[in-house]
Amino acid sequence: MLDSVIPIDVAISDFKNHLLSHSRTILSAKYGDGKTYFLSQFVNDATVKEHFDFLTIYPVNYQVLENKDIFDLIKRDLLLQMISKGMMETYEIPDNVALAFYLQNKCGTVAEAFLPFLQALDSTQPVAKALIAGLAGLKMFRKLRENYKKWKNQFKTDDQIETYIIENDGIIYENDAITEIIRSAIANYKSDHPQKRVVLIIEDLDRIDPAHLFRILNVFSAHMDYGYRLGKPIDNKFLVGNKFDLDNVVMVMDYQNTCNIFHHFYGESTNFKGYIDKFCSNNYFSYSLAEQKYSYFISNIKKLTGLNEFLISPFFKKDDVASKSVRDINKCFVDIDRDLLIDKNAYKGFSKSIPRLLSIARRYGLTDADILKIIEKFASNCMDVFFKYAGPYLSVIYNDGTFDSFHININGRNYGFNDARLDSDGTMLYTKYYTKGNNIPQKVDLASLLSLIAK
């Protein structure tokens, strides 16, 4: 069975400790270094789930929107995430927030209030229906609708509304009702789960068009600079916090690449560190799967082919494997035998080691010329091992469909393999001899092995 999980236990432990000491941070990794894979494993790790709950938003969906719309979508994304994760089951909306929601929306149902935002999120019909049903079923929203009617009947004139707002200290200041619902619901959830930290992950920032990236980052920085409302800080905790009182905010991007884009847009002399520091409490967390990817890749090839690493490694350089994404690596292994053109009866019982290795090399991106160079070099240096696995196929090709003795020329030298026979594991047993002569007709070469796999 192939390895389905790359072991990243140490990195998971390191990042967990990092979050405990950094309320705001950047998870930095280059494209292909496996940050999406890492996050998937991290949020589902049992030891992590004991201490953290995660909300994830994808601002790549925001780049065509105006800033005001982005502020709104962040809040709607967060609220829908909280609902889907069951974080609002015990939350009851305070009366003043219910009034604010009524004043701002003036709608008849909760579904009407959220429908435009579900459309903006491009939700599928089943997802939208499920979310609306979830909204309607929550006790907090049933109370919200009841309060619509209460406040609508209580305040008959604008003067009454203005008086209530003044007497109640402005109700929501610059926040809207959704902001207050999110903040108070998070506080309520943390009160019910004191061992948990609520973490916001802002994913896929590398996928945002560079022309929009810093505009969207500036929107997020406004949430993080929440303490400076009205031009001065009002509470020290907000200076290192965020608008929704989340315990952690994690921006997912390639730090160095973002730095390069920043300098491209604003000039080499601009202070990127000063700009990006607002997204980090102290420093950022750098992550790479480079070393683990190579071990994972070679391990799976060994399991698929049964070959030793010294026969596999010439085809795959460590640095090159490190540059591949986990997705691209896994594509090398999926249904590998469908590429093999060895269904003829003449090949029955042969070991599939070499055809599988060559198929993986092709899927990996090596050209036939590159593959042939490696084969020739290895066949010259480690002939016994190579022909043990490749010999049966070369024999049948040489003998027009019959498994028998054969001759082959490698780098100007002629080799003959006599008394060829098949071992129980599908490899070749033989008696080999070497000759300098050129009188042996060349009927097969190493390139013929590439005909065994589909292009």
pLDDT tens figures, 226-242: 444 434 444 444 334 56
Total domains present in the chain:
2
Cα dihedral angle (404, 410, 413, 418), rounded to 10 degrees? -20
Q: In what order do the strands lie in the sheet with 413-422?
A: 406-410, 413-422, 428-435
Domain end position, chosen among 265, 286, 307: 286
Residues 370 and 302 in one domain: yes
135 pLDDT exceeds 80? no
Residue 4 belongs to some domain of the structure: no
Length of the chain (residues): 455
Q: How far is CA 429 from CA 37, 372, 385, 393, 445, in A?
A: 44, 24, 11, 13, 19
> At a CB cut-off of 8 Å and minimum separation 6, what does 11 contact?
38, 287
Give the phi and the psi of residue 310 in degrees, each rounded to 5. Answer: -65, -20
pLDDT of residue 183: 83
CB atoms < 10 A from the CB of 433, how many?
Answer: 11
pLDDT per position as a tens digit, 58-79: 888 777 777 777 777 788 888 8
Residues 277 and 300 in one domain: no
Q: pTM of whole model > 0.95?
A: no
Residue 1 belongs to some domain of the structure: no
Domain end position, chosen among 286, 315, 330: 286
Residue 102 belongs to some domain of the structure: yes
pLDDT per position as a tens digit, 24-58: 899 998 876 778 888 989 999 999 999 999 999 88
Q: How far is CA 347 from the centre of its chain?
A: 41
Residue 2 belongs to some domain of the structure: no
Give the torsion sign (CA, 117, 121, 126, 127).
negative
287 pLDDT exceeds 70? yes
pLDDT of residue 380: 82
Asked if residues 301 and 31 have their Cβ atoms less than 8 Å apart, the reply is no
Residues 317 and 175 in one domain: no
Confidence tier at 158 by pLDDT (50, 70, 90)? very low
101 pLDDT exceeds 70? no
Domain end position, chosen among 286, 308, 337: 286
Residues 163 and 189 in one domain: yes
Q: What is the largest CA-CA distance in the chain?
A: 110
Residues 277 and 311 in one domain: no
Rounded to an integer, the average pLDDT of 5-14 is 87
pLDDT per position as a tens digit, 192-212: 999 999 999 988 888 888 878
The domain containing residue 368 runs over which residues? 290-452
Residue 3 belongs to some domain of the structure: no
Q: How far is CA 318 from CA 34, 36, 275, 293, 332, in A?
A: 16, 21, 35, 9, 16
Residues 340 and 360 in one domain: yes
